[in-house]
């Protein structure tokens, strides 16, 4: 029992950097975590076995976790909510209906899922300490990714819809043909360059229409030679978003 309590009471540390918040005046800052690596099921299971957090062997644990998620999301797709001790997921139908006889439209009334914290996750959050390690000065970065169709921020992308990226020094410009906005597939690292005219292309805001995308998880990458002045950078530099964006 003492060992169990020791694990329950472990303290966690999230290390972060401060960035200037261009959305507000007055010299305020926002924090982003320094560790932006995304762990998949295999990596988490390997860590659990190595760390001693699981009594199962690696292969058994991977199979069990994948089987749980396959069944959980099968039930979610049939309209059931799913919960465990850490969080619950609830199906939700978005948008509005013009009249009582209106049929659901996949674009106007997308099926979405809401995530709610439960007690064990709230307990973990209460034991997290945030340590600010440094302040990033004069750096280009992506602050928010807005999916115009769903109105969500830093959550999803709608295939073929308009995407708006907010940030700092992100204007796409330069004479190198690689400059542009890319979608990076998190699963395999492959990239898709968004071809076409940008709806909006400013130093702190970019809007463009997305191509048709396969379901998956993506991040935004911007390649630009924008320097903030009248000359281009010698070489394009890339700016990556810090969040995973789901396409369903």
Domains by residue range for the chain, with CATH: 140-247 (2.70.50.70)
pLDDT-based confidence at 10, cuts 50/70/90? Answer: low
Q: Decide which of 134 and 102 is more confident.
A: 102
Question: Average pLDDT in the 221-245 region?
Answer: 88
Among 187, 190, 192, 176, CA closest to 224: 176
pLDDT exceeds 60 at position 25: no
The dihedrals phi and psi of 133, each to the nearest 5 degrees, come to: -95, -30
pTM over the 0.85 mark: no
DSSP 8-state symbol, 160: T
Total number of residues shown for the chain: 248
| Residue that wins the pLDDT comparison between 5 and 84 | 84
Of 165, 175, 177, residue with least CA distance to 221: 165
For the segment 61-108, what is each residue's pLDDT rounded down to a tens digit? 999 999 999 999 999 999 999 999 999 999 999 889 999 999 999 888
Pick 21 or 117 by higher pLDDT: 117
pLDDT at site 137: 66
Q: How far apart are CA 242 and CA 237, in angstroms?
A: 16
Least confident of 26-35, 165-174, 197-206: 26-35
pLDDT number for residue 2? 47
pLDDT at 196 over 90: no
pLDDT at 5 over 60: no
Number of neighbours of residue 231 by Cβ within 10 angstroms: 8
Residues 152-191: pLDDT tens digits?
899 999 999 999 999 888 999 999 999 999 999 998 889 9
Residue 19's pLDDT is: 75
The single residue listed with the structure tokens 């700016």 is: 239
CA nearest 62: which of 50, 44, 81?
Answer: 44
Q: What is the pLDDT of residue 11?
A: 82
Which residues 6+ apart lie within 8 Å of 90 measured at CB? 81, 113, 114, 116
Q: Please report, rounded to a whole number, the percentage of residues in the chain having pLDDT higher than 70.
A: 92
Q: Residue 179: name the closest of 193, 169, 166 by CA.
A: 193
The two three-digit tokens of residue 222, written as one number: 């911007």
pLDDT at residue 141 in the model: 85
Task: Give the pLDDT confidence score for residue 26 in this predicted structure.
Answer: 57
Please, is 87 exposed, middle or buried when counting C-beta atoms within 10 Å of its C-beta (0-12, 13-18, 19+)? middle
According to the model, what pLDDT value does residue 139 have?
Answer: 74
> What is the model's pLDDT at position 23?
56
| pLDDT given at position 1 | 47
User: Where is pLDDT greater, at 82 or 111?
Assistant: 82
Q: What pLDDT score does 22 carry?
A: 57
pLDDT attached to residue 9? 61
Q: What's the mean per-residue pLDDT of the chain?
A: 87
């Amino acid at each position: 029992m003492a060992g169990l309590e020791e694990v329950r009471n472990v303290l966690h540390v999230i290390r972060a950097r401060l960035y200037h918040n261009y959305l507000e005046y007055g010299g305020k800052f926002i924090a982003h975590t320094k560790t932006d690596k995304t762990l998949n099921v295999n990596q988490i299971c390997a860590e659990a076995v190595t760390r001693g957090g699981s009594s199962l062997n690696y292969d058994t644990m991977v199979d069990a976790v994948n089987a749980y998620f396959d069944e959980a999301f099968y039930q979610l797709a049939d309209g059931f909510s799913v919960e465990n001790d850490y969080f619950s997921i609830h199906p939700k139908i978005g948008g509005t209906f013009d009249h009582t006889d209106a049929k659901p439209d996949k674009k106007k009334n997308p099926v979405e899922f809401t995530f709610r914290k439960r007690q064990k996750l709230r307990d973990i959050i209460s034991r997290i300490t945030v340590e600010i390690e440094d302040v990033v000065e004069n750096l280009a970065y992506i602050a928010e990714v807005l999916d115009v169709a769903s109105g969500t921020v830093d959550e999803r992308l709608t295939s073929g819809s308009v995407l708006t990226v907010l940030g700092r020094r992100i204007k796409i410009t330069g004479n190198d043909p690689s400059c542009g906005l890319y979608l990076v597939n998190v699963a395999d690292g492959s990239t898709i360059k968004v071809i076409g005219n940008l709806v909006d292309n400013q130093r702190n805001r970019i809007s463009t229409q997305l191509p048709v995308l396969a379901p998956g998880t993506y991040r935004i990458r911007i390649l630009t030679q924008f320097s903030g002045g009248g000359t281009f950078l010698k070489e394009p530099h890339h700016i990556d978003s810090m969040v995973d964006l789901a396409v369903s």
